[in-house]
Chains A and B, each alone.
Chain A
Amino acid sequence: MTLSVQDVTVRYGGRLAVDHVHLEVGDGEVVAVVGESGCGKTSLARALGGLLPENAEVSGRGVLRSDRHPDLDLGALRDWRGVRGRRIGIVPQGAMSGLSPIHRVEAQLREMLTLHGGSSEPAQLLERVGLTARELHSFPHQLSGGQRQRVAIALTLAGEPDLLIADEPTTGLDAVVQGKVLALIASLGISTLIVSHDLTGLLPYADRIAVMYAGRLAEVVPVDALHRGRHHPYTAGLLAATPSTDRAVTWASIPGSAPPLDALPEGCRFAPRCPIAVEECRETAPRLRLVGNSEVACHRAEVAGDASYPAVPRATSECGKPVLTMTGLRHTYRSRSRTTTALDGVDVEVGRGEILGLVGESGSGKSTLARIALGLIRPTEGTVRLGDYEMTGARGRRLRELQRRTGFVHQDPYDSLHPAMKVSALVAEPLVIAKVPRNERADRVHAALASAGLPEEVLTRTPGQLSGGQRQRVSIARALVNDPELLVADEASSMLDVSTRGGIATTLRKVAIERGLAVVFVTHDMGEAIQSCDRIVVLRHGRVVDAGACSRISSSPEHEYTAQLLAASHH
């Protein structure tokens, strides 16, 4: 047993972020701490690395054992020098900023070796992480994101730590690279604690999974047991809420959202969202107990197999006549020294009641395409028709009138709503801009809120008082309020927790059916596109490499790149 901690509790002011967590990491074992934002997983990882900010209070006991060093009592530890780096290695989140931009890789490795008294050579460290001696003389900016993360791991290995703590080690990397980095970490043979929000992404690489919810452990389960049967309804929900690339597997969402840390419910904290909760769950908090070979904190673990979550619906009818037609689109961005071709001969058509998925990795031109459809960017070449009107030639007032027939849901729910405006004003804004008479506005705002699945009482709140999922619904309501013909959702769920993503997709499907709306759904997640769209267009380097019905794309991809994307969506 390399690490064993009991009763780890972290508070920020009065807010309880981590609540009496017990955790063990065996020799050479890879344990994944999984949960959604605000569940306390990052606070736990930081507490174990002694990296919490000043305003945090930590308590708990813990021992770090190793055959090379004396046991270390973590509870009594005050001075982390000589511990971080030599005993506990920390793989930083986002290696983009974790490396020094002005030193070569070799110099950075040497610094770590000197600092922690490591005995290896820089080249050996690079070899362990799958890089070659050639990279020794590179600067970080000359390396790809995946290579940089590998260098960051090599830096952590310099002090030969007994335990690795990796907090979201694959943030910002493309799906294909993520898998490779995780595989590398798992293959090092060092006891490792990986913290991540991506449960299914970690399944192939972790030995045990610890699922956290609202500061508590919900379940600690060996991965092979997880494959056989699930015990905690939240774990089941997380798995069901991760979109599969197989159309036969339904995609579900967990209703509601995680409770804020200063308003935690009594009893089981998951009870308000749990489909099988009973009276007991709302009254007494369940303790971790052994069920099979996993530890579960659930009163109803024995019947948790019955837990079923609302599924994301599919199309019910054929799509109508085309709303948006884009033909021969080319777009180049010019800067002083070079031109970048973002789109190169793209044709796209979306009909009434249809949801079109635009899929591609970063740099594929999907966001540019979405902005051209909205009239925010004028394409270098090609035409865009919205209904019977030509959009490409329109300027000024005429363009703005056409833009009022489209709705836009921005990727970032935290920035796309004016922070000082109330929800009522936010949703009514398109009506004010379109000069809709004042007496019609209230009814349309209410109808749009209902379509977006929001209760009336949010009308008087500001965005700061809403959760990410609710904010994105406000965005959807705002996009719907002026009865648009076209809705463009640019990565609308990418910044949301996995349990609420399906909810957003359900809402989009509902409005597409009810209002006969054409929807362009931009995403980098192939699984999400296959589950929620009718047709998919796969973009790569500004060209359409594959296009067709979701079922066809998922079962028999025509292009090799589509197949790669499908494989990278690993479930």
Chain B
Amino acid sequence: MSTATSAPEVVARPRRRELLGRQGRVGAVLLALIVGTAAYGFFFLPDGAGKKRVGSPYEEPSAAHPLGTDDLGRDLLDQLVVGAGTSLTLAFIVAAVTTVLAAVIGGLAGIGPRWLSATIMRGIDVMLVLPELVLFILAATFLGQGFGIRAVILALILWPVPARVLRAASLTAWSRAHVEAARAMGAGQAWLLFRHASYLLGPLLVPVFVRTAMRVIIYDATLSFLGLGDPTAPSWGTTLYWVQVNGVFLSDAWLWWAGPPGLAITLTVVALALVGTSVEDRLNPNLQESR
């Protein structure tokens, strides 16, 4: 009767309060700070902040310009704050679109008819073989660097991996006894999904969202750094592009010019990773068993 005695513990889920844990809370605080900075830039900085010339070129940090100015005399702190908005907006939009795409496609591959599942899975395999970054750079080069175009390209590149994860999860959910019992009652697919599988699949969307946001920030910064982003819109990657073009690393200026955007990218990715892994640790039943 061991199966009977051990089963009830499986049902017990971690309390909501423990959803994040210590490392997750550190990540959430960091992320809140960054989002707050971005919101400040969006609501309180004047239009054209970071784009307009406000001082003389190559100024060192001072009270008026805490991070100095760039080669055109634009304020670097303004660029950092406005850049946070650009990066996070792109990251969250793309992450949302990718999560929905992955859920729909992965779900269809999991519970759809066999031919559809096979077609989708082979399609995903092909997508996985393509080098994502190179594809992104090529597409951005030929299709343009607008915000919308970048978002669409990233979403189209990033959905296959999470779709695979969600297909596996929906297969597992569909084999659960209470889902089978509901099917035997004559329940339709929509009922099965929303009443029975949603609590199993929903939690998995959180790490998918967070991980995608993380990769978008890195990929977009890479693109801007290579000079393929929009050179007029301030963003962390664009600032780094001008760092490289101006040979800033040959002087002391790298400290206040290259350092802050680099640090901002690192911190954002670390914050997202902390939140993502700790949420996943607690919500993914497979990881719970192995701990």
The answer, yes or no, to whether B1 is at the interface (CB within 8 Å) is yes
By beta carbon, the residue of chain A nearest B13 is: A419
Q: What's the Cα separation between A478 and B186 when bound, in Å?
A: 13
CB < 8 Å: which of B5, B13, B178, B186 contacts A400?
B186
Q: What's the Cα separation between A430 and B10 when bound, in Å?
A: 26
Q: Are A419 and B11 in contact (CB under 8 A)?
A: yes
CB < 8 Å: which of B10, B180, B186, B196 contacts A404?
B186
Q: Are A414 and B184 in contact (CB under 8 A)?
A: no
Q: Given A410-B177, A412-B177, A415-B176, A37–B186 Cβ distance below 8 Å?
A: no
Q: Are A408 and B3 in contact (CB under 8 A)?
A: no
CB < 8 Å: which of A401, A468, A488 contacts B186?
A401
Contacts of B188 in A (CB 8 A): 400, 433
Contacts of A402 in B (CB 8 A): 186
Q: What's the least CB distance linking B115 to chain A, in Å? A: 14
Contacts of A416 in B (CB 8 A): 177-178, 180-181
The answer, yes or no, to whether B63 is at the interface (CB within 8 Å) is no
By beta carbon, the residue of chain B nearest A396 is: B188
Q: What's the least CB distance linking A521 to chain B, in Å? A: 16
Contacts of A312 in B (CB 8 A): none
By beta carbon, the residue of chain B nearest A404 is: B186
Q: What's the Cα separation between A468 and B188 when bound, in Å?
A: 28
Contacts of B191 in A (CB 8 A): 433
Contacts of B149 in A (CB 8 A): none
Q: Given A410-B177, A415-B178, A168–B4 Cβ distance below 8 Å?
A: no
Q: Mark B176-196 against chain A: 1 for CB-CB distance below 8 A, else 0.
A: 111011111111100100011
The answer, yes or no, to whether A6 is at the interface (CB within 8 Å) is no
The answer, yes or no, to whether A368 is at the interface (CB within 8 Å) is no
Q: What's the Cα separation between A488 and B183 when bound, in Å?
A: 14
Q: Given A410-B177, A433-B191, A376–B184 Cβ distance below 8 Å?
A: yes
Q: Mark A403-418 against chain B: 1 for CB-CB distance below 8 A, else 0.
A: 1101010111011111
Q: Given A414-B11, A464-B12, A408–B5 Cβ distance below 8 Å?
A: no
Contacts of A433 in B (CB 8 A): 182, 185-188, 191
Which residues in chain A, 484-499, are within 8 Å of chain B measured between CB atoms?
488, 495-497
The answer, yes or no, to whether A36 is at the interface (CB within 8 Å) is yes
Which residues in chain B, 144-178, are within 8 Å of chain A measured between CB atoms?
176-178
Q: Given A400-B188, A463-B11, A414–B183 Cβ distance below 8 Å?
A: no
Q: Which of B10, B12, B13, B184 has the most CB of A within 10 A?
A: B184
Contacts of B11 in A (CB 8 A): 414, 419, 463-464
The answer, yes or no, to whether A523 is at the interface (CB within 8 Å) is no
Q: What's the least CB distance linking B227 to chain A, in Å? A: 48
Interface of B is mostly: helix
Q: Are A497 and B176 in contact (CB under 8 A)?
A: no
Q: Mark B1-27 against chain A: 1 for CB-CB distance below 8 A, else 0.
A: 111110110111100000000000000
Q: Mark A140-177 against chain B: 1 for CB-CB distance below 8 A, else 0.
A: 00000000000000000000000000001001000000
Q: Given A376-B183, A400-B186, A404-B186, A468–B178 Cβ distance below 8 Å?
A: no
Which residues in chain B, 8-57, are within 8 Å of chain A measured between CB atoms?
8, 10-13
Q: What's the Cα separation between A401 and B218 when bound, in Å?
A: 52
Contacts of A374 in B (CB 8 A): 184
The answer, yes or no, to whether A38 is at the interface (CB within 8 Å) is yes
Contacts of A429 in B (CB 8 A): 182, 185, 187, 195
Contacts of A414 in B (CB 8 A): 4, 7-8, 10-11
Contacts of B178 in A (CB 8 A): 410, 415-418
The answer, yes or no, to whether B199 is at the interface (CB within 8 Å) is yes
By beta carbon, the residue of chain B nearest A167 is: B2
Q: What's the Cα separation between A348 and B13 when bound, in Å?
A: 43
Contacts of A411 in B (CB 8 A): 177
The answer, yes or no, to whether A65 is at the interface (CB within 8 Å) is no
The answer, yes or no, to whether A9 is at the interface (CB within 8 Å) is no
CB < 8 Å: which of A168, A399, A400, A403 contacts B2?
A168
Q: Mark A274-287 against chain B: 1 for CB-CB distance below 8 A, else 0.
A: 00000000000000
Q: What's the least CB distance linking B126 to chain A, in Å? A: 20
Contacts of A77 in B (CB 8 A): none
By beta carbon, the residue of chain B nearest A408 is: B184
Q: What's the least CB distance linking B257 to chain A, in Å? A: 53
Q: Are A408 and B4 in contact (CB under 8 A)?
A: no
Contacts of A418 in B (CB 8 A): 178, 195-196, 199
Contacts of A450 in B (CB 8 A): none
Q: What's the least CB distance linking A171 to chain B, in Å? A: 7
Contacts of A415 in B (CB 8 A): 7, 176-178
Q: What's the least CB distance linking B143 to chain A, in Å? A: 40
By beta carbon, the residue of chain B nearest A196 is: B1
Q: What's the Cα separation between A522 and B234 when bound, in Å?
A: 69
Q: Are B2 and A495 in contact (CB under 8 A)?
A: no
Which residues in chain A, 376-429, are within 8 Å of chain B measured between CB atoms?
376, 399-404, 406, 408, 410-412, 414-420, 429
The answer, yes or no, to whether A42 is at the interface (CB within 8 Å) is yes
CB < 8 Å: which of B2, B13, B183 contacts A93?
B2
Q: Which of B10, B177, B183, B191 has the most CB of A within 10 A?
A: B177
The answer, yes or no, to whether A532 is at the interface (CB within 8 Å) is no
Q: What's the Cα separation between A20 and B178 when bound, in Å?
A: 40
Q: Given A410-B177, A414-B10, A403–B1 Cβ distance below 8 Å?
A: no
Q: Are A37 and B1 in contact (CB under 8 A)?
A: yes
Q: What's the Cα separation between A374 and B183 when bound, in Å?
A: 9
By beta carbon, the residue of chain A nearest B176 is: A415
CB < 8 Å: which of A93, A408, A419 contacts B181?
A408
Q: Which of A418, A430, A463 has the most CB of B within 10 A?
A: A418
Q: Are A475 and B181 in contact (CB under 8 A)?
A: yes
CB < 8 Å: which of A197, A400, A464 contacts B1?
A197
Q: What's the Cα separation between A415 and B173 when bound, in Å?
A: 11
Q: Which of B2, B8, B178, B181 has the most CB of A within 10 A?
A: B181
Q: What's the Cα separation between A402 and B183 when bound, in Å?
A: 12
Contacts of B1 in A (CB 8 A): 36-37, 197, 495, 497
Q: Are B8 and A403 in contact (CB under 8 A)?
A: no
The answer, yes or no, to whether A434 is at the interface (CB within 8 Å) is yes
By beta carbon, the residue of chain B nearest A370 is: B184
Q: What's the Cα separation between A374 and B177 when bound, in Å?
A: 14
Q: What's the Cα separation between A404 and B187 when bound, in Å?
A: 9
Q: What's the Cα separation between A450 and B93 when bound, in Å?
A: 53
Q: Are B180 and A410 in contact (CB under 8 A)?
A: yes
Contacts of B4 in A (CB 8 A): 37, 414, 468, 495-497
Q: What's the Cα separation between A171 and B195 when bound, in Å?
A: 35
Q: Given A410-B177, A463-B11, A430–B185 Cβ distance below 8 Å?
A: yes
By beta carbon, the residue of chain B nearest A93 is: B2
Q: Mark B110-121 against chain A: 1 for CB-CB distance below 8 A, else 0.
A: 000000000000
Q: What's the least CB distance linking B12 to chain A, in Å? A: 7
Q: A410-B180, A414-B10, A414-B11 are in contact. List 14 more A-B contacts (CB 8 A).
A: A400-B187, A404-B185, A410-B181, A411-B177, A412-B177, A415-B178, A416-B177, A418-B196, A429-B187, A430-B185, A430-B186, A433-B188, A495-B4, A497-B4
The 16 listed contacts between A and B (C-beta, < 8 Å) are: A38-B5, A376-B184, A399-B186, A403-B183, A403-B184, A403-B185, A410-B178, A411-B177, A412-B7, A415-B7, A415-B177, A416-B180, A429-B187, A429-B195, A433-B182, A495-B4
The 3 closest A-B pairs by CB, nearest first: A403-B186, A414-B7, A37-B1
